[in-house]
Amino acid sequence: MLIGVLALQGAFIEHERTLARLGVATREVRQRKHLDGLDGLIIPGGESTTIGKLLDILEMTEPVRALGRAGLPIWGTCAGMILLASDVGRPQTVLGLLDIVVRRNAFGAQLDSFETALPVPALGPDPFRAVFIRAPLIERLGPGVTPLATLEDGTIVAAERDNILATSFHPELTGDPRFHEYFLAKVAAARATAPEREALPRP
Ligand code: GLN
User: Residue 3 belongs to what H/E stretch?
Assistant: strand 2-6
User: What's 2-199's CATH class?
Assistant: alpha beta
Q: What pLDDT, on a 0 to 100 scale, did the predictor assign at position 201?
A: 62
First to last CA, the chain: 18
Q: What pLDDT, on a 0 to 100 scale, did the predictor assign at position 24?
A: 98
Q: Are 101 and 138 in contact (CB under 8 A)?
A: yes
Regarding the beta carbon of 159 and ligand 1, being less than 6 Å apart is answered: no
CA angle centred on 75, ends 26 and 142, rounded to 5°: 165
Strand 113-118 to 25-29 pairing? unpaired
Q: What pLDDT, on a 0 to 100 scale, did the predictor assign at position 112?
A: 85
Q: What pLDDT, on a 0 to 100 scale, did the predictor assign at position 99?
A: 98
Q: DSSP states of 153-169 as a string?
A: T--EEEEEETTEEEESS
Distance 89 CA to ligand 1 centre (A): 15
Q: What is the pLDDT of residues 31-55, one digit of tens each?
A: 999 999 999 999 999 999 999 999 9
Nearest CA residue ID for atom 5, ligand 1: 79
Average pLDDT over residues 151-167: 97
Distance 50 CA to ligand 1 centre (A): 10
For residues 197 and 138, which has the higher predicted lDDT (pLDDT)?
A: 138
Q: What pLDDT, on a 0 to 100 scale, did the predictor assign at position 107?
A: 86
Residue 198: band (very low, low, confident or very high) from pLDDT cuts 50, 70, 90: low
Atom of ligand 1 nearest to the CA of 104: 4
- Compute CA 153 distance to the chain's CA centroid, rounded to the nearest angstrom: 23
Catalytic residue numbers? 78, 170, 172
User: Residue 196 belongs to what H/E stretch?
Assistant: helix 194-198
Distance 22 CA to ligand 1 centre (A): 26
- Residue 175 and residue 171: Cα distance in Å, rounded? 8
Q: Are 168 and 158 in contact (CB under 8 A)?
A: yes
Closest-CA residue to 188 (of 48, 34, 22): 22
Q: Are 62 and 201 in contact (CB under 8 A)?
A: no
Residue 111: band (very low, low, confident or very high) from pLDDT cuts 50, 70, 90: confident
The whole-chain average pLDDT of the chain stands at 94
- Residue 70 and residue 72: Cα distance in Å, rounded? 6
